[in-house]
């Protein structure tokens, strides 16, 4: 994947700042052409930012606009299952008047939440690590002219980014649900 086709949050920030500066210069000197070009750059930067964060989150996997597909850490899936099973036990325990079953369900639900959170943190940390290693490796490979290694490192970056975005998606969803 070439750098021109790879969406990047950092690139979107740089393009947005460039567009804002050009828009400002156009305003100061009275050039509507510069203002329009600056606004167009800012709009393109927003589209780059949005594409950089685009992911499709399905149960157990995440797919990104870069074409990478990652599988969630097993603790995320198991934790989600334990939360659901615990909530069911808690509900049934409440319905039949079994305080023991209700408490057991509450405990399993809490353990599932902790387990899922561990899996999310694992995916987030390994995603960030892969993005950094992929970016650095790609840069070094580009400097040495090794296009094969550069492509491998770009793939590592894309997979890491997808893994990170999948964890961020779930964490954000859970945060919104508790508010």
| CB half-sphere exposure, 154, CA atoms < 13 A | 19
- pLDDT tens string 9-54: 666 677 777 777 787 788 888 888 888 887 877 777 676 666 666 6
Residue 49 is predicted with a pLDDT of 66
| Residue 1, CA atoms < 13 Å, CB-side half-sphere | 20
Where do the structural domains in the chain lie, given as residue ranges? 1-49
- Phi and psi torsions of 2, nearest 5°: -85, 160
CA distance 165 to 55: 7
pLDDT at residue number 6: 54
Q: Name the stretches of the chain with pLDDT < 70.
A: 1-12, 45, 47-54
Q: What pLDDT is recorded for position 29?
A: 87
Q: Specify the pTM.
A: 0.68
**pLDDT number for residue 4:** 43
Asked if 52 and 26 count as a contact pair (C-beta separation under 8 A), the reply is no
pLDDT of residue 52: 61
What is the predicted pLDDT for the residue at 2? 38
Task: Read off the tokens for 20.
Answer: 């804002």
């Amino acid at each position: 994947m070439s750098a021109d086709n790879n969406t990047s949050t950092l690139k979107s920030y740089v393009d947005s700042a460039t567009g804002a500066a050009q828009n400002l210069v156009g305003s100061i000197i009275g050039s509507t052409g510069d203002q329009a070009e600056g606004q167009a750059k800012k709009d393109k930067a927003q589209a780059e930012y949005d594409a950089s964060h685009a992911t499709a989150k399905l149960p157990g996997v995440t797919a990104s606009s870069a074409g990478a597909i990652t599988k969630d850490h097993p603790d995320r899936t198991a934790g989600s299952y334990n939360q659901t099973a615990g909530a069911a036990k808690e509900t049934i325990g409440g319905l039949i008047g079994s305080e023991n079953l209700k408490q057991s369900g509450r405990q399993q639900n809490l353990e599932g939440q902790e387990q899922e959170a561990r899996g999310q943190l694992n995916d987030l940390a390994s995603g960030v690590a892969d993005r950094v290693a992929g970016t650095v490796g790609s840069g070094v490979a580009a400097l040495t002219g090794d296009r094969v290694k550069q492509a491998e490192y770009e793939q590592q970056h894309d997979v890491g980014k997808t893994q990170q975005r999948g964890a961020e998606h779930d964490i954000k969803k859970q945060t919104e649900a508790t508010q």
